[in-house]
Homo-oligomer: A and B are copies of this chain.
């Protein structure tokens, strides 16, 4: 079904080399070093396949287009920090005590997202 092509291998290696989640355009820019003719549509299609194959996890921050990261990094429960200064997104391990307690009675919570904003160690 899903073939492992030159393009897909290049995209995989872009994610493996990345230091944080990447958006499609960033992936394209980096993948073009390996496969000059690659197009944006291929990046979108390949990312979608890799998400279906659980090879990538989407990282969706409020008000921003989706980024993606390799699934290994996403296996343990974690959240994200976005630096208001440099815009970089950092992954944070761990979680707060019991976020589900926020929900009113009768609401069943199956998952949650937490995003922190501020200034990262590099920008401080």
Contacts and interface: CB of A to CB of B under 8 A. Distances in A.
Contact of A112 (B90, B101, B105, B115): B115
Interface string A80-124: 010010000010101111111111111111111111111111001
A37 interface: no
Given A63-B60, A96-B99, A90 B116 contact: no
B111 A118 contact: yes
Given A60-B63, A112-B117, A116-B112, A102 B106 contact: no
Find the residue from A102, A115, A124 having the highest chain B CB count within 10 A.
A102
Nearest to A113: B115
What is the interface residue range for chain A against chain B?
35 or more
A108 B124 contact: yes
Interface of A: 58, 60-63, 66, 79, 81, 84, 90, 92, 94-121, 124
22 contacts: A62-B115, A81-B107, A81-B109, A92-B103, A94-B102, A96-B96, A96-B98, A97-B97, A99-B116, A100-B116, A102-B114, A102-B116, A103-B116, A106-B121, A107-B118, A107-B119, A107-B120, A107-B121, A108-B124, A109-B118, A110-B118, A112-B114
